[in-house]
């Protein structure tokens, strides 16, 4: 039951972060790279090959998606990418019991955190249903903040998309770096998860405080 919940949740979470050119595709590639490295370190060639196959598919897509947005994932592509990521994570845990759940969660943290905090933010903080339109995800707030700052205000949309995606990729990559450089230290991974959550919430609240149009739209709902 928990596996079904986890796979469904991760699958949907990738669709949640699919809002900018390259963001979801690049994040999935980086997360699969982290899982592939862990699989290689534990001698699991099956999971490693599955992760590399997923990365190959995403990188092929990224050639036309990033940064100009010639094609898009759509719901089907985002759900497939999320499902592939989730199943690789589950297989890594099942086939290698010595791998900590905290380690795998750290690798897949960004989309899971985005989805979980969005639900908390809407239901608990803002008291609105999750089904309402939402333009307050981290990538959306960061994109609007970059567009509002000179000289970024003169940038074309595709360039702001690209820069925003890269900034979030760095966060995702840092999570992978901690996971693969300390593979047998679940305590460190749990601490990294907590630190990432705190950083995310503080940054989101700071960006939200600057986003007057979106706050007004939420108040209208």
CB burial string 135-172: b at 16+ within 10 A, e below = ebbbbbbbbbbbeeeeeeeeeeeeebbbbbbeebbebb
Contacts for 28 with CB less than 8 Å, ≥ 6 apart = 14, 54, 58, 81, 82, 84, 85
**Mean pLDDT, rounded, for 189-217:** 85
> Is the pLDDT score of 219 beyond 60?
no
Residue 75 CA: distances (Å) to CA of 8, 19, 120, 171, 192: 14, 11, 23, 24, 30
Average of per-residue pLDDT across 21-45: 97
Write down the pTM of the prediction: 0.91
Domain total in the chain: 1
Domain that holds residue 71: 2-220
Which residues are within 8 A (CB) of 103 and not within 5 positions of it... i.e. 6 or more apart?
Answer: 38, 179, 183, 186, 189
Q: What residues have CB less than 8 Å from 31, skipping those under 6 apart?
A: 85, 107, 108, 110, 172, 176
Question: Per-residue pLDDT for 15 more than 70?
Answer: yes
- On the question of pLDDT at 213 being above 80, the answer is no
pLDDT at 220: 46
Tens of pLDDT along 139-192?
Answer: 999 999 988 875 656 778 888 899 999 999 999 999 999 999 998 899 999 999
Q: What is the pLDDT of residues 179-195, one digit of tens each?
A: 999 988 999 999 999 99
Return the pLDDT at 127. 85
């Amino acid at each position: 039951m928990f596996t079904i919940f986890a796979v469904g949740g991760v699958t949907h979470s990738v669709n949640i972060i699919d809002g900018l050119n390259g963001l979801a595709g690049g994040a999935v590639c980086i997360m699969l790279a982290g899982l592939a490295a862990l699989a290689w370190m534990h001698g699991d060639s099956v999971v490693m090959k599955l992760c590399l196959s997923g990365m190959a598919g995403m990188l092929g897509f990224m050639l036309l998606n990033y940064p100009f947005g010639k094609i898009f994932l759509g719901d089907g592509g985002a759900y497939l990418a999320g499902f592939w990521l989730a199943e690789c994570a589950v297989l890594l845990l099942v086939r290698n019991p010595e791998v900590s759940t905290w380690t795998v969660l750290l690798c897949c943290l960004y989309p899971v955190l985005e989805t979980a905090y969005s639900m908390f933010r809407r239901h608990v903080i803002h008291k609105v249903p999750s089904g309402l339109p939402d333009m307050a995800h981290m990538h959306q707030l960061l994109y609007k903040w970059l567009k509002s700052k000179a000289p970024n205000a003169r940038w074309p949309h595709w360039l702001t998309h690209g820069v925003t995606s890269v900034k979030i990729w760095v966060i995702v990559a840092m999570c992978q770096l901690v996971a693969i450089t300390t593979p047998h230290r679940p305590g460190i991974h749990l601490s990294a998860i907590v630190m990432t959550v705190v950083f995310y919430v503080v940054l989101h609240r700071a960006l939200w405080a600057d986003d007057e149009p979106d706050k007004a739209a939420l108040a209208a709902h």
